[in-house]
Structure 1
Amino acid sequence: MIPAGDIVGLVLAGGRSRRFGWEKAAVVVDGRPLLDIALSGLGGCGALAVNAPKDSEAARLAAARGLPLLPDPEGLPDGPLTGVLAGLDWAAARGAAWLATSPCDLADPPADLVARLAAAGGCAYALAPDGRHPLSALWPVELAEPLRAILRREHPPVRAVQDDAGFKAVLFERAASFANLNTPGGLSAHVQAWGLSPDGAPFRTRSSWLQPVRADGVAAMLKLPFEAEERRGGQVLAWFDGRGAARVLRADDEAVLLERLAGDIDLVAMAEASATGDENACRVLCTVVGQLHAGQPAPPPQAHPLRPWFAGLERRAANHALLARAWTVADRLLAESHEPRVLHGDIHHANVLHDPAKGWRAIDPKGLIGPRGYDYANLLRNPPGRRARDPARLGRLAGMVCEISGLSRREILGWTLAHAGLSAAWSLEAGDDPAHSLTVAELAASLL
């Protein structure tokens, strides 16, 4: 077992990312740059550094985090081994005996990568069910000079150098931990086909790839969903045609091009700042919901009925008293529906954006059909935090929602209980913590 103090870590971010279309280190995945995700996969190292060109986005990110930047040594061939050599030289200068490396294009590296490679005694690389991952490895600093000599005369594969040096495999069970992240070809294909100009790094959420672009000079967002629900949402967004929602500029079966909103006012920050800000944010959300519901034409064929949306809550109701009450209330409200609307389905503080020229617009609808009261429920459960679990706050904002929407307190609190129960059921099924949603459900039930 190698002591943790003898190991330093290096993120390899020197590649050109030609196939990717943008420098990978700066691509945001689930809210974090890939560089940060790679750094988190090197936990346990005594120090960290980044291998990248001086004029790169990776260099900018490294500087912002106070990390050393290690460009490739001059006069040697481009490639990951040259980056490894830069790291070995840096490790030697620090007096470390081992260098752990990780490529910057892993979206979910194992948290115990370094510990397990060290437990194997070093000179080791990761092996997963999908094959060998030679850049997720632990290198001896004494390999620096032999590697330098090799690179001066040839440019061998990484695995060949490791095999000659006697590296061994360490098995990791999850292939997904080492999946190489590449944007789908649909992004670049649509950029070309629709005559768009990239205007920022692509990024990935849990459901879509997105690419900031310009369309005839206008700021836009190209979205490529990889879930059926998100594709349906894009179709429903087009149906709203700018009525309280971001306008769709172009779409096909794979992608949607949206107007890009500045997002210059953050409703989450507004709500968390003070009680007055919380009330102002609630008023904005209610106004947007009213715009979405007003004067609707015939529903689009893509919209789904609301009742099946509650299947998860119905399943969990048999074994949980509070969820049973939430399902009873939801079942009653669904049966009483006299004002069906095309619903956004997920109105909360992060799904309504502001633009100085366009005002407040909703994004990312689910595309449901049902009682309009449901669209007000989630805003009372958000933003998550202490304020949303305050019973006085829930009662006060529920009254405000009733006044703006024209719906009864019984309906608004009933839908709040139903939706909070549904969110808790989803969390339980996903293995997540349902505590926040259960607390809001209890509060809503107590006020009914």
Structure 2
Amino acid sequence: MHKSTLEYQIETLTPWIKKWNLSSDGEQIITHTSHLQPVRDCHGKALMLKVALNEDERRGAKLMNCWNGKGAAPVLACESNALLMQRACGNRSLLEMANNNEDEQVSQIICQVVETLHSSSVVLPGELVPLSRWFASLLNSTQSNPIYGLCREVAINLLSSAQNEVALHGDIHHNNILDFGEQGWLAIDPKGLVGERGYDYANLFCNPDLPTAGRRARFQRQLKVVTQATGMGKTRLLQWIMAYAGLSASWFIEDGDTTSAEKVIAFAWFAAEKLDMAVRD
């Protein structure tokens, strides 16, 4: 008899709850990559137990353990495929703030968090995935739309001339940086990559969950905000946006989601237009 999803989830989480003397404190969360359970320890501290179901999540958990509160959620235990970390209990949401006329302030917050992650001096796990491997879907794309060819060309040039290589979060967006109260804004759910720091800033421009993201005026404002906050050159940042948009769209196409691919690839056109203007300048 096949186990139900709930039975499998309980079976996955229960050993860790027992081992670390935890008690459940809310509804379980199941995704295609991990099982999560809000818990409390024996002192009543609010924590989150996460059990990874794939290699990306396991690798990300190891990176979280290395960062351990330096820009990311503090980790109490990390073993095998299980991660026990502090739970974000603040009431603020970056996505809600961005949707309520605080878009530029939110981008500044995200840039500050990313900078803290990138500047960490801790010893990092050796199995971080290089961007040259992470970009396989775009580099091997056979899409006939010329924008994919442009994105692929830009990505190849970036990867062959990498600058300021660091451990990368790999999935920076508004819902992966949470309010930890007095500890401020901290990141969760990294993918565990290594490469040029510009990659981690590109998703600020391409988040499909943000209704205003697809507006050219918003793109132009954010370009100014992010370059000022990070000290990155405008041309290099625009190139990373093109590369990231092409990669993200390629993933959507692999999943059969052409609608989302069309939305994301629009950011590559925005960046390409700005790069042409920069060349003429």
Partner of residue 77, structure 2: 250
Deviation at 1:193, TM superposition (A): 1.0
Deviation at 1:269, TM superposition (A): 1.1
Name the amino acid aligned to 1:210. Answer: L
CA distance in 2, matches of 1:271, 1:234: 28
The counterpart of 2:38, out of the listed 187, 212, 221, is 212
Partner of residue 202, structure 1: 28
SS in 1 for 2:99: helix
CA distance in 2, matches of 1:329, 1:203: 38
Sort the Cα spacing of 1:383 and 1:356 in 2 relative to 1 into closer, same or farther, 3 A. Answer: farther
Structure 1: gaps spanning 5 or more residues: 1-129, 132-177
Partner of residue 422, structure 1: 247
The counterpart of 1:380, out of the listed 181, 186, 205, is 205
Cα pair 2:66 2:123 within 8 Å, conserved: no
Deviation at 1:205, TM superposition (A): 1.9
Cα pair 2:130 2:194 within 8 Å, conserved: yes
1:228 is the counterpart of 2:49: no
Cα pair 1:384 1:436 within 8 Å, conserved: no
Structure 2: gaps spanning 5 or more residues: 276-281
1:447 is the counterpart of 2:278: no
Sort the Cα spacing of 1:259 and 1:195 in 2 relative to 1 into closer, same or farther, 3 A. Answer: same
Q: TM-score, normalised by structure 2?
A: 0.92
C-alpha distance after superposition, 1:392-414 (max 9, x if no partner): 21121111111111110011111
CA distance in 1, matches of 2:31, 2:112: 27
SS in 2 for 1:181: helix
Deviation at 1:336, TM superposition (A): 1.2
Cα pair 2:60 2:190 within 8 Å, conserved: yes
Cα pair 2:63 2:124 within 8 Å, conserved: no
Cα pair 1:317 1:327 within 8 Å, conserved: no
SS in 2 for 1:416: helix
> 1:343-422 counterparts in 2 under 5 A?
343-422=168-247
1:191 is the counterpart of 2:26: no
SS in 2 for 1:251: strand
CA distance in 2, matches of 1:233, 1:317: 30
Sort the Cα spacing of 1:220 and 1:397 in 2 relative to 1 into closer, same or farther, 3 A. Answer: same
Name the amino acid aligned to 2:228. Answer: E
**What is the root-mean-square deviation of aligned Cα atoms in Å?**
1.7
Q: TM-score, normalised by structure 1?
A: 0.58
SS in 1 for 2:141: helix
CA distance in 2, matches of 1:199, 1:238: 23
> 1:331-346 counterparts in 2 under 5 A?
331-346=156-171
**Percent of matched pairs sharing the same residue:** 39
Deviation at 1:227, TM superposition (A): 1.1
Partner of residue 167, structure 1: none
**After the TM superposition, which segments of 4 or more aligned residues of structure 1 sit over 4 Å from their partners?**
none
Deviation at 1:263, TM superposition (A): 4.0
The counterpart of 1:238, out of the listed 65, 68, 83, is 65
Cα pair 1:337 1:370 within 8 Å, conserved: yes
Cα pair 1:266 1:353 within 8 Å, conserved: yes
CA distance in 1, matches of 2:223, 2:5: 47
Cα pair 1:236 1:302 within 8 Å, conserved: no
CA distance in 2, matches of 1:180, 1:300: 32
Name the amino acid aligned to 1:315. Answer: N
Partner of residue 330, structure 1: 155
Name the amino acid aligned to 1:382. Answer: N
CA distance in 2, matches of 1:205, 1:440: 28
The number of residues matched between the two structures is 271
Cα pair 1:201 1:212 within 8 Å, conserved: yes
Sort the Cα spacing of 1:214 and 1:180 in 2 relative to 1 into closer, same or farther, 3 A. Answer: closer
> 1:9-28 counterparts in 2 under 5 A?
none
Sort the Cα spacing of 1:401 and 1:379 in 2 relative to 1 into closer, same or farther, 3 A. Answer: same
CA distance in 2, matches of 1:381, 1:446: 16
The answer to which structure, 1 or 2, has the higher relative contact order (CA under 8 A, 6+ apart) is: 2
Partner of residue 279, structure 2: none
C-alpha distance after superposition, 1:175-200 (max 9, x if no partner): xxx95532242311111111111111
CA distance in 2, matches of 1:401, 1:234: 27
Name the amino acid aligned to 2:33. Answer: S
Sort the Cα spacing of 1:295 and 1:194 in 2 relative to 1 into closer, same or farther, 3 A. Answer: closer
Sort the Cα spacing of 1:385 and 1:241 in 2 relative to 1 into closer, same or farther, 3 A. Answer: closer
Name the amino acid aligned to 1:381. Answer: C
C-alpha distance after superposition, 1:150-174 (max 9, x if no partner): xxxxxxxxxxxxxxxxxxxxxxxxx
Find the structure with the greater CA-based Rg: 1
Name the amino acid aligned to 1:186. Answer: T
The counterpart of 1:311, out of the listed 126, 136, 143, is 136
Sort the Cα spacing of 1:250 and 1:325 in 2 relative to 1 into closer, same or farther, 3 A. Answer: same
Cα pair 1:268 1:383 within 8 Å, conserved: no
Deviation at 1:254, TM superposition (A): 2.4
CA distance in 2, matches of 1:260, 1:181: 22
